[in-house]
Amino acid sequence: MTQHARILLVEDEEIIAIIIRDLLAAEGFQVTVCANGCIAWETLQHDRMGYDLVLLDRGLPGMNGMELLRLIKGDRVLAAIPVILQTARSDKRSIQEGLSQGAYYYLTKPIQPEILIAVINAALQQRRELQEMSETANRAGRPLSLVQSAVFRFRDLDEAKVLSHCLAQSCPEPERVIQGLQELMVNAVEHGNLGVSYAEKGELMLAGVWLEEIQRRLTLPEFSRRFVTVHFQRLPDKLVFTIQDQGDGFDWQDFLDFSPERVFDLHGRGIAMARLMSFDRLEYQGNGNTVTAVVNGVSFLYGFDH
């Protein structure tokens, strides 16, 4: 699945760079190594569509990792490339800074090979899905521009992805909203209707059997009739998406912001990322089985009069 993906490794310590390069090469990745941020930026500028992922050391000489991360995320073409930060710094402020600037993941040295490979595979999979979503969005246009309100139901992950593609077309910036909508809908299936705990998901992802377990649970009698409901509403100055599952809810307060305690887990950042990057407002209600996401600023695009 990830064979031949191109990775830009930015690492100034030669021995560490060699170890990581050889590890990734053994997994089938094509790795380019840069010893500092300036060279890495020049490399990305020269081959703007060539790299699938950047593995970036934070403590680089000259242009440091955070500066390079900001350049990448500020570039319209390069911004879609997932960036994994690696560093010896694990304090709360450093972690929150990296994630808030758009890093996909934060690894501390010494790097654990199995965690590194799992994170890279997850990042590449997410990027492929986002590329597919964007292509779908570009082809589909915006048929929902005529819809004032609607109710949708879905059961599984494939239906969640299809619906998130569709609903994102109602927004002024579909590519910004798609990932957040998908994250909320997938959570409603996995943790809501199917009752998968946070710890269980991490174990299943590390073992590489996460999707198989989701499919198994969908067939169990206690889950087979559960569905997720999505209410879509267009107001004069905003779009409102309300997503409700039939599960028992969860302690949603802990997931609205980036948590240093969970930052090294394989998952658990999606809600915070959606709140920060996809929506203008994100609110959970009650026990957490209902979430409302708001996108502002649609009145000019669709010609509403005030």
| Strand extents, DSSP E, 40-198 | 53-57, 83-87, 105-108, 149-154
Burial of 53 (0-12, 13-18, 19+ CB in 10 A): buried
Query: Which single residue is written with the structure tokens 């950042």?
Result: 269
- Where helices occur in 92-209 by DSSP H, the ranges are 92-100, 113-140, 157-168, 174-187, 198-207
- Model pLDDT, residue 207: 83
Question: Which residues of the chain form CATH 3.40.50.2300?
Answer: 6-126
185 burial type by CB count under 10 A (0-12 exposed, 13-18 middle, 19+ buried): buried
For residues 10 and 85, give the distance between their C-alpha atoms in angstroms, rounded to a whole number. 10
Rounded distance, CA 197 to CA 201, Å? 6
Confidence class of residue 303 from pLDDT cuts 50, 70 and 90?
Answer: very low
229 DSSP β-pair partners: 153, 244
- Would the pTM count as exceeding 0.75? no
What's residue 295's pLDDT? 95
Q: What radius of gyration, in Å, describes the C-alpha atoms of the chain? A: 20
Of 137 and 288, the structure prediction assigns the larger pLDDT to 288
Distance of CA 139 to the CA centre of its chain: 22
Please give the Cα distance from 198 to 125 (Å, whole number). Answer: 20
Strand partners, 41: none
The type of residue at 183 is: E
* Range name among 111-125, 175-189, 196-210, 261-275 with the lowest pLDDT average: 261-275
Per-residue pLDDT at 306: 38
* Pick from 32-41, 130-139, 144-153: least confident: 130-139
Q: What is the mean pLDDT of residues 170-175?
A: 82
Homologous superfamily (CATH) for 147-296: Histidine kinase-like ATPase, C-terminal domain (3.30.565.10)
**Residue 244 and residue 246: Cα distance in Å, rounded?**
7
Please provide the average confidence, as pLDDT, over all residues in the chain: 85
Burial 68-85 (b: 16+ CB within 10 A, else e): bbebbbeeeebeebbbbb
> Is the four-CA dihedral 280, 194, 199, 203 of positive or negative sign?
negative
The answer to whether residues 100 and 258 touch, using CB atoms and an 8 Å cutoff, is yes
CB-neighbour burial class of residue 148 (10 A; exposed 0-12, middle 13-18, buried 19+): exposed
Q: Which CATH architecture has domain 6-126?
A: 3-Layer(aba) Sandwich (3.40)
Which residues of the chain form CATH 3.30.565.10? 147-296
